[in-house]
Chains A and B, each alone.
Chain A
Amino acid sequence: MRALLLIAPLLIFVLVTFVSPIVDMLFRSVENGIVTEILPHSTSALKDWNSERDELPGEAVFRGLYVDMVIAVKRRQHTRVGSRLNYEAAGIASVFRKTGRSLRKVDVDAFVRHFTDLHPDWENRAFWEGVFSDPAAAGVLPNSSRTFDAWSQDFAKPEDPVPEDFVYVALAGELRGLDASDLSGFGQPYAGMLAEAARTIGRLDEISLKQEFLQLDSEWSAATLWKTIKIFSPPLTEAYFLNAVDMKKGIEGVERKSEAERIYLVIFGRTFVMSVTITLACIFLGYPVAYFLARLPLRKANLFLILVLLPFWTSLLVRTSAWKVLLQQEGVINDILVAVGIVDDSARLVMINNQFGTIVAMTHILLPFMILPLFSVMKTIPPDFVRAAKSLGADAFTAFRRVYFPQSLPGIGAGSVLVFILAIGYYITPELVGGIKGTFISNRIAYHISTSLNWGLAAALGTLLLMAVLLLYWVYDRIVGIDNVKLG
């Protein structure tokens, strides 16, 4: 109990400052509320549209679209939904942008007149407020209620005498197909007035908002566009995850992307292969160092340990730039090789802006994470064992291979998993020295966060990466136990 009390402050701290932000971000990978939020009327009308047949959606959908677009343009959200859908089918963003810009050209006077010709009360804001404050309104006319509320709360000035046109369009759209009995829940005079408007609503059927929209942008006649909107209207989506593994949710269902668009699996694979290479390089370079350190008297070993730790303590950015200076074609190493005569001046080695550069720089950066655990394991191996093996006739190499090496294996295991976990999520170094073939999945994640703004895809890629790391952590904890990591 006392133990838990001691742990609790930190646990809460980490949960609040670290874990919840990550969970919060990962949720973005499936979140897709934006489409129905910005296009509520169109998406609900689209439910009745059969996307199997290549027909355009009916007038009801276009009326919904009109209302949605007017509100979205006022809130400056129409291009946001456009950008969201553009991830799935290129070109949609401009349809929304263009339409938003010329929306005021759409003529909806007939909708207004339909009501105002029936009764002058329809030109009276107080009357409208009466209709929508009626208890029946939210149940019978949900879309219109929402539209009217949006207008009166967000856009109307107190002195505006009548609602804006789009409120009339919304009501007309919803009254289509309703009759007096549906509207009988309203109090009078609203029930009667609404029933009267509904009875004659057929007159508006000859008005085609569809045609108006097609004139604004002929792209509205593309079935793909409507299918995309329909497919991506649910509030949760697996599309980002599919995209993250080079698949897509097409009109015919889930399919692989075309050859020219496949990229993430390649980069995941590359991240994995390069991290393994870096880990191996760290074992190869770190083992002798740790072995050397472990056999020194402790005081001397600690001094040499400073040499190991010094790079560790030098800014990552500086170490990476140092490698740039060293590895480039006109850089120090090439200069030395040319001066010595190993390499011809015209055939300088390409060692940076590729996988080699990333591997060298990252091996350097991560090496201390290999040496420290190795060293702490090797310190505990009693030298007597090797001596005993030798006295029993084993030569130095055999003694090392059969006796010392097996005992140092836990150190290799600990260091390897640590290095691999850190390597797989690296960002800065590949960014600076990786060129194009040496970049990691983290670089793509960063790109989608800060440049393309496709945060959903960034979150999906991040989730996959995180799952890989957690799996490794689990393995690590099983094999080594996290308690056994020592850092100097």
Chain B
Amino acid sequence: MFVFLIFPILVILPLSFNAGEYFTFTPEMLRLDPAGFSLKHYKDFFFNTDWRVATFNSFRIAPLATLIAVAFGTLAAIGLSQSHVPYRRAIMAILISPMIVPLIISAAGMYFFYSRIGLQGTYIGVVLAHAALGIPFVIITVTATLVGFDKSLTRASASLGAGPVRTFWKVQMPLILPGVISGALFAFITSFDEVVVVLFVGSASLKTMPWEMFNGLREQISPTILAVATVLVTLSILLLATVELLRRRSERLRGVSAA
């Protein structure tokens, strides 16, 4: 099973060192002949202006979209976790909708609507669209950590004279932090890997990496895409390792707070 999950990703790694121009294992590669391998696709990725612009854009859009999604999403999740929220189901459904509405419908709708209000093809437009797509993940992960949250802690904090804001930052926040971070990562990757909406809402000067890859697959298949993927997979592993470390740290924290 794990082979099924990982194998496709392992396959692309060697292909990214392909000296040829197509996604094919050349006979030279299979013979492990050094002539069949090259770093030229990596060079292309690091030195080609298009890819540089795309990388820059991806890193310009995703963090801001994530920030918006996390800020609004965390607040709302805290709101939703309180008892007796009227129309809770309906509100939840609306907030989750960006995850369940088929992307093509979201993309087309945003495209028409954003065109009308002048956001189509703007940086803000893409950021807002991506923030909306990331929100369900933040809601889901933060709500999940809040389910296990001991309400007496906030009461205790309040009784010791802390205001709601101080209570939030000092008591609630450290405890739901893993959920927030995990939600943030999901939101980040949603934006970072998103191609359908950005193709519609974006514009030439806002090309992101997935856009560039999609163009590549459509117009000029080149193993550069695989080189990009390899770089991104490495990046993902680092990110995931970070999350795991954070999780372990927070478990220790929780252990302390529960004791």
Q: Which residues does A use to contact B, with CB under 8 Å?
A: 2-7, 9-11, 13-15, 17-26, 28, 285, 288-289, 292, 299, 302-304, 306-311, 313-319, 321-326, 330, 332, 335, 364, 367, 421-422, 424-428, 432, 442, 445-446, 449, 455, 458-459, 462, 465-466, 469-470, 473, 477, 482-483, 485-488
Contact = CB atoms under 8 A, between A and B. Distances in A.
B232 A482 contact: no
Interface residues of B, number: 86
Contacts, number: 251
Interface stretch (B34-42, B154-162, B233-241): B233-241
Interface of A is mostly: helix
B89 A477 contact: yes
Contacts of A315: 193, 209-210, 213, 228-229, 232
Given A17-B131, A315-B232, A310 B217 contact: no
Contact of A421 (B68, B91, B100, B196): B100
B182 A427 contact: no
B236 to A, nearest CB: 4
Contacts of A22: 101, 105-106, 109
Contacts of A304: 2
Interface string B77-93: 01110101110010111
Given A18-B97, A445-B104, A465-B105, A317 B8 contact: no
12 contacts: A2-B82, A3-B84, A13-B68, A18-B106, A18-B110, A21-B114, A22-B105, A307-B2, A318-B12, A321-B225, A326-B8, A442-B102
A10 B76 contact: yes
B21 interface: no
Contacts of B152: none
B11 A462 contact: no
B244 A307 contact: no
Contacts of B98: 14, 18
Interface in B209-235: 209-210, 213-214, 217, 225-226, 228-229, 232-233
A374 to B, nearest CB: 12
B75 A25 contact: no
Contacts of A426: 102
Contacts of A23: 109
B153 interface: no
Contacts of A367: 4-5
Given A22-B106, A332-B25, A425-B101, A7 B76 contact: yes
B186 A487 contact: yes
A311 B108 contact: no
Given A24-B112, A304-B2, A425 B102 contact: yes
A486 B79 contact: no
Nearest to A315: B193
B129 interface: yes
A314 B229 contact: yes
A223 B121 CA distance: 45
Interface string B115-141: 010000000000011011001010011
Give the residue among A11, A14, A23 with the most B Cβ atoms within 10 A. A14
